[in-house]
């Protein structure tokens, strides 16, 4: 059997023409021969929704179906938002375009002709979108870092929370703030200790939206330099397996401008899973006091410190080097249709068995948003599934947040092209 879908774009026009302020009564709890389903559910604010079902009481063809919705927290009843006609098998469909469904709502449909029957009510949950930008991703202890962003739709004067991820993967609150009249926020935070910190901003649920959180960012916080003995990294955040060069300058004691020439120095290191420093490389400072060690390839987040090899003993500040997880992900197919289902599988390096991992989708706002949560398997692999509710192009990636051992990372994006549905067998069943 085939859906009588004039093209989805035509349906959008039909919906707009039928969006009149006709208010219905209370929501039905059970269907009386008229089924309904809505996909996806839940969605991110502004994501398109596909609503469909079947009339099971004859005659089924050519019957008028009216779609009603109720906006959560509006204090109003159900309003007519669209109208269509069943095909010869009794199937009907509606498409709610992008940037239309911005808050939690309920759907039901009614047959307007001879049957006068209605479907059950579907509750569509809609996640608020939260953006996040950091004033810097590299700071020193005590330096203020400003986090800014916006919550969509507008939730003026409601609270948001800056959170930091702990070693066990849980999120702990650091600081809260209230949105301004434009639904924007700014949160300033300082860290007392050097480390790599993964943070996000959370908007808690309310009547209009379910909770939403920003895509996390990582801030590398270094200890302030020791006067006269600097240390730096060629890249403070590297990928697993990538080399890094540690260098700096040793000045003569009591001077900040004259290098201490030809002095042996030793590189010490302590990984995230080690309790004490150990020597890993030796070199000799040049005529200007500068030194460079052979490239290091740390497996886990590592703290480096440079010390003079011989007395009198001096040392640099502790330098934190973040090592980012590497993720790969591939889809079962790069093409699907409305109602179609794909799987996305991949791996994580180093081994992250049991760690939480997220499937993220690129939203119309240009930010990545969490869509599904799974656990990495014992083989350090993962698997997601996704069912499409609207034709178009979709971008997905896998995202893992940091832990004690490593800074989180993301896979390269994959693109899925979704065409209009051509067969009802591809759609999840309606009820």
Q: pLDDT tens, 141-176?
A: 899 999 999 999 999 999 999 999 887 678 899 999
Q: Give pLDDT, residue 425.
A: 61
Domains of the chain: 8-127 (2.60.40.730), 129-221 (2.60.40.1930), 224-317 (2.60.40.1930), 326-419 (2.60.40.10)
Q: Name the percent of the chain in helix, strand, coil, to the closest 5.
A: 5, 50, 50
The neighbouring-strand residues paired with 57 are none
Pick the closest to residue 308 from 265, 248, 267 (CA basis). 265
Which residue is it, tokens 């009564």?
25
Q: What percent of the chain has pLDDT over 70?
A: 91
> Where does residue 429 rank: exposed (0-12), middle (13-18), buried (19+ CB within 10 A)?
exposed
Q: Give pLDDT, residue 404.
A: 85
Quote the CA–CA distance of 241 and 264 in Å, as a whole number.
28
Written as six digits, the tokens of 150 are 């916006």
Residue 79: CB atoms within 10 A of its CB come to: 17
Rounded to an integer, the average pLDDT of 423-429 is 66
Pick the closest to residue 49 from 87, 5, 105, 88 (CA basis). 105
**Parallel, antiparallel, or unpaired for β 341-349 and 381-387?**
antiparallel
Name the band, by pLDDT with cuts 50, 70 and 90, for residue 256. low
Quote the CA–CA distance of 172 and 163 in Å, as a whole number.
5
Q: Give pLDDT, residue 365.
A: 80
Rounded to an integer, the average pLDDT of 43-67 is 92
SS3 12: helix
Name the band, by pLDDT with cuts 50, 70 and 90, for residue 248. very high
Q: Look at 6-15, 118-127, 227-236, 289-298 and tell me which has the smallest mean pLDDT.
A: 6-15
Inter-CA distances, 164 with 129, 201, 240, 329, Å: 19, 9, 22, 26
Note if the bond before 100 is cis, omega within 30 degrees: no
Q: Which residues contact 9 (CB under 8 A, 6 or more apart)?
A: none
Q: pLDDT tens, 375-396?
A: 999 999 999 999 888 888 999 9
Q: Which residues contact 17 (CB under 8 A, 6 or more apart)?
A: none
Which residue is it, tokens 């083989």?
379
SS3 202: strand
Written as six digits, the tokens of 418 are 């979704």
Q: Give pLDDT, residue 31.
A: 72
Cα 108 to chain centroid distance, Å, stands at: 31
Name the band, by pLDDT with cuts 50, 70 and 90, for residue 426. low
Q: Which residue has the higher pLDDT, 30 or 348?
A: 348
Quote the CA–CA distance of 172 and 3 in Å, as a whole number.
49
DSSP 113: S
Compute φ and ψ for 116, nearest 5 degrees: 55, 45
- Tell me the CA end-to-end span of the chain in Å, nearest whole number: 18
Inter-CA distances, 145 with 134, 139, 180, Å: 7, 8, 19
Q: Give pLDDT, residue 387.
A: 87
Q: Is the distance from CB of 44 to CB of 127 less than 8 angstroms?
A: yes
Residue 143: CB atoms within 10 A of its CB come to: 15
Q: Which residues contact 74 (CB under 8 A, 6 or more apart)?
A: none
CA-angle at 17, arms to 14 and 19, nearest 5°: 105
Q: Give pLDDT, residue 12.
A: 31
CA-angle at 133, arms to 363 and 407, nearest 5°: 90
Q: pLDDT tens, 219-246?
A: 989 888 999 999 999 998 899 999 999 9
Written as six digits, the tokens of 360 are 């993220």
SS3 145: strand
């Amino acid at each position: 059997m085939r859906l009588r879908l004039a093209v989805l774009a035509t349906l959008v026009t039909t919906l707009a023409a039928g969006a009149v302020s006709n208010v219905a009564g209370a929501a039905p709890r059970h269907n009386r021969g008229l089924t309904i389903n809505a996909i996806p559910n839940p969605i991110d604010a502004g994501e398109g929704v596909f609503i469909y079902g079947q009339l099971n009481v004859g005659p089924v063809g050519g019957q008028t179906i009216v779609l009603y919705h109720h906006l959560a927290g509006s204090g109003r009843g159900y309003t007519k938002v669209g109208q269509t006609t069943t095909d010869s098998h009794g199937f009907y469909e509606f498409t709610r375009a992008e940037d239309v469904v911005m808050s939690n709502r309920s759907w039901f449909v009614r047959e307007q002709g001879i049957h006068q029957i209605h479907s059950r009510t579907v509750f569509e949950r809609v996640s608020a979108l939260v953006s996040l930008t950091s004033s810097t991703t590299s700071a020193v202890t005590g330096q203020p870092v400003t986090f800014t962003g916006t919550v969509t739709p507008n939730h003026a004067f409601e609270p948001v929370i800056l959170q930091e991820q702990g070693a066990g993967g849980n999120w702990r609150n650091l600081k809260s703030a209230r949105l301004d009249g434009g639904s924007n926020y700014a949160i300033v935070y300082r860290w007392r200790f050097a480390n790599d910190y993964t943070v996000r901003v959370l908007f808690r649920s309310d009547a209009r939206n379910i909770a939403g959180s920003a895509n996390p960012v990582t801030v590398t916080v270094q200890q302030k330099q020791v006067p006269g003995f600097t240390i730096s990294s060629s890249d403070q955040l590297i990928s697993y397996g990538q080399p890094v060069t540690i260098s700096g300058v040793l000045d003569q004691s009591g001077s900040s401008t004259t290098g201490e020439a030809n002095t042996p120095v030793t590189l010490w290191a302590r990984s995230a899973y080690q309790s004490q420093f150990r020597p890993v490389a030796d070199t000799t400072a040049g005529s200007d006091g500068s030194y460079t060690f052979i490239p290091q390839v740390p497996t886990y987040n590592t703290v480096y410190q440079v010390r003079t090899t011989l007395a009198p003993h001096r040392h640099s500040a502790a330098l934190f080097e973040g090592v980012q997880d590497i993720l790969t992900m591939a889809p079962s197919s790069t093409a699907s249709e409305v109602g179609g289902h794909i799987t996305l599988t991949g791996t994580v390096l180093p081994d992250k068995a049991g760690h939480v991992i997220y499937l993220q989708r690129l939203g119309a706002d240009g930010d990545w948003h969490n869509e599904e949560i799974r656990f990495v398997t014992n083989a350090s692999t993962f698997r997601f599934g996704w069912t499409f509710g609207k034709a178009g192009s979709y971008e997905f990636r896998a995202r893992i947040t940091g832990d004690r051992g490593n800074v989180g990372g993301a896979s390269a994006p994959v693109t899925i092209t979704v065409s209009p549905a051509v067969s009802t067998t591809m759609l999840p069943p309606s009820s």
